[in-house]
Amino acid sequence: MDTDSAELVRLTLLEGGASPQLVASLIPSRPLEEGEQYRFHFDMTKCIGCRSCEVACNEQNGNPADIKWRRVGELEGGVYPHVSRTYLSMGCNHCISADCLKGCPVDAYTKDPITGIVMHSADACIGCQYCVWNCPYSVPQFNPERGVVGKCDMCRERLLDNREPACVNACPENAIQIEIVNKIAWTEDYSLAESPGMPAAGQTISTTRITLPQSSTAATAWLDRVDTGSIALEHAHPSLVVMTTAMQASFGLLCGLALVRNVDAVSLLLLLLVTAAALNVSVFHLGRPAYAWRALKMWRRSWLSREVLCFTLFFGFVAAATLCAWTPLFPWHLSMQRLVSPLAWAAIASGAAGTYASASIYLVKARPSWNMVHTPLDFFLSSALVGIPLLSVLARPALIITELLRRHGLEVARPHFTLYPRLLAITACLWIVNQLVRVARLRVSAIFEHRASFHHLRGEQLWWCVALSWICALQAILFLFAPLHWMALLSLLAATAAVLLNRYLFFVSVVPLSMGLTFIRDRGTHGRAAA
């Protein structure tokens, strides 16, 4: 009953008794030449939707049940009985111009020079998940158990051994094959990569060739995704909600301090504390926080690296400015106060660049409702919306600390603060208008993902959150105009709540580009979408 004979477990390879034609049709029989790479070929006319490939892939890679590097989707079209239902089975498309690779701040991705396979290194990865946002096919998936991303590597090691990838091997209909493609010829004409249910291939030049059913009948001509009625909310990324809000507040505050010529030691110290907290929080967005420093690596290419770089510089300049501002108190009488202002302006410049880089992270084609001018507008307006009341609110502790220091004989500049209700009112109005226009544009957009984001926002799970966010923004103005004590603090709280809520909505309501999935499926932990 047991067996140890070597020929028992083999693939449909030649030595396994498979016909040469079959093997040749499943994996390439010749080595790659200059300018060529491997690619998947998926034959939709052969696929029966059995999903063996999905199981085989998870078994091959030892992945958890909820992480599938190969996924099967359904397409449907037509009118009974002339109706067509076909399937898509997709791993990674090993794009010629891969966006996952371009965005990666740590250079964890490489396009293998031998095979053209887009490979991901779990060792290099810090789990920032920027590739997840960048890929138009939602191919890279974050594995919370490991804290890193993972994706299909076309079973590269198996291919190099002349063995079929697990999905190719498992498919009972031989609907998945590995082929050789000439990269230049394919870049010139990639029309065979296009399919209903798939994002346009041109963005990254997907290499997967898809054989579609003949579009002679109306049913196949109308093939479309079936999963669009149940798109789950995306992850809220709470640490990013807090970090972006806090960094924008810091930047806004520093701008305010500089503009009112009040870059005093105590205010700077408070600012430094806010910035330090924000940067620390941001690290816990990463799957592997200890390696956060690696994110600086790809500043020439990745907006995420640039954001990290700019905000690190911002922190450095603020810290230096703070230090300089405090030098008069040091016993050796080496006053460097002259440097405070230039350092503060340097910090402002890097803060502006950082805020811009931060916004640019979200300007990715694969996430259409982020990829709008409203994102950078929102980031800068939010800086002002929180920064202005923060400026007022910090007055009290700054004054108290200053008085305390003076009482102890330490001569520090006395900060002076005033409220700027009109400025805040204008900012808050602009902020709300920006949101209103964004939502209106999402609603009327021709892009499905935009409309789907709109449906998320007005759905039963989120509509109250949207309303609350806007009400908070209005409250931030109203509080400031009310003739009461502590109104600045209330205004700050309202403004912060508005920005935090709005940022939360920004993350959860985005609908990424993705291949069409199945109608019935586990919708994960992020909950169901409101229709």
Q: Would you mind telling me the total number of residues written for the chain in this entry? A: 531
Site residues for another protein, 149-208, by CB under 8 A, read: 155, 157-158, 161, 163, 166, 170-174
Site residues for another protein, 73-92, by CB under 8 A, read: 76-81, 83-86
Residue 224 contacts another protein per CB under 8 A: no
Residue 286 contacts another protein per CB under 8 A: yes
Site residues for another protein, 423-482, by CB under 8 A, read: none
- Phi/psi at 27 (5° precision): -135, 150
Q: How far is CA 412 from CA 58, 264, 317, 407, 428, in A?
A: 64, 8, 20, 11, 34
Q: Which of 64, 342, 397, 527 binds another protein (CB under 8 A)?
A: 64
The Cα–Cα gap between 285 and 436 comes to 29
Q: Which of 102, 110, 111, 146 binds another protein (CB under 8 A)?
A: 146
Residue 214 contacts another protein per CB under 8 A: no
Site residues for another protein, 340-399, by CB under 8 A, read: none
The alpha carbon dihedral of 9, 12, 14, 18 has a sign of: positive
Residue 237 contacts another protein per CB under 8 A: no
Query: What minimum distance in Å lies between the beta carbon of 173 and another protein?
Result: 6
Amino acid at 487: M
Q: Which of 116, 287, 368, 415 binds another protein (CB under 8 A)?
A: 287
Query: What minimum distance in Å lies between the beta carbon of 2 and another protein?
Result: 5
Site residues for another protein, 295-324, by CB under 8 A, read: none
| Nearest partner of 197 among 388, 387, 448, judged by Cα | 448
Query: What minimum distance in Å lies between the beta carbon of 286 and another protein?
Result: 6
Nearer to another protein, 169 or 267 (CB): 169
Nearer to another protein, 89 or 496 (CB): 89
Residue 518 contacts another protein per CB under 8 A: yes
Query: What minimum distance in Å lies between the beta carbon of 281 and another protein?
Result: 14
Contact 219, 84 (CB under 8 A): yes
- Phi/psi at 269 (5° precision): -65, -45
Query: What minimum distance in Å lies between the beta carbon of 144 and another protein?
Result: 5
Query: What minimum distance in Å lies between the beta carbon of 206 and another protein?
Result: 24
Query: What minimum distance in Å lies between the beta carbon of 146 and another protein?
Result: 5
275, two tokens: 């910035």
Residue 17, C-beta contacts closer than 8 angstroms, at least 6 positions apart = none
Nearer to another protein, 88 or 487 (CB): 88
Site residues for another protein, 18-57, by CB under 8 A, read: 46, 48-52, 54-56
107, two tokens: 């250079």
- Phi/psi at 266 (5° precision): -70, -45
Residue 234 is given by DSSP the state P
If binding means CB under 8 A, how many residues of this protein chain bind another protein?
78
Omega cis (within 30) before 81: yes
Residue 127 contacts another protein per CB under 8 A: yes
Burial of 363 (0-12, 13-18, 19+ CB in 10 A): middle
Q: In 423-455, which positions are buried (b, 16+ CB within 10 angstroms) versus exposed (e)?
A: ebbebbeebbebbeebbebbeebeeebbbbbbb
Residue 414 is given by DSSP the state P
Stretch in the footprint of another protein (CB under 8 A) among 9-17, 131-139, 307-315, 426-434: 9-17
Q: Which of 191, 214, 216, 525 binds another protein (CB under 8 A)?
A: 525
Query: What minimum distance in Å lies between the beta carbon of 167 and another protein?
Result: 11
The Cα–Cα gap between 218 and 76 comes to 11
Residue 106 contacts another protein per CB under 8 A: no
Amino acid at 293: W
Nearer to another protein, 50 or 447 (CB): 50
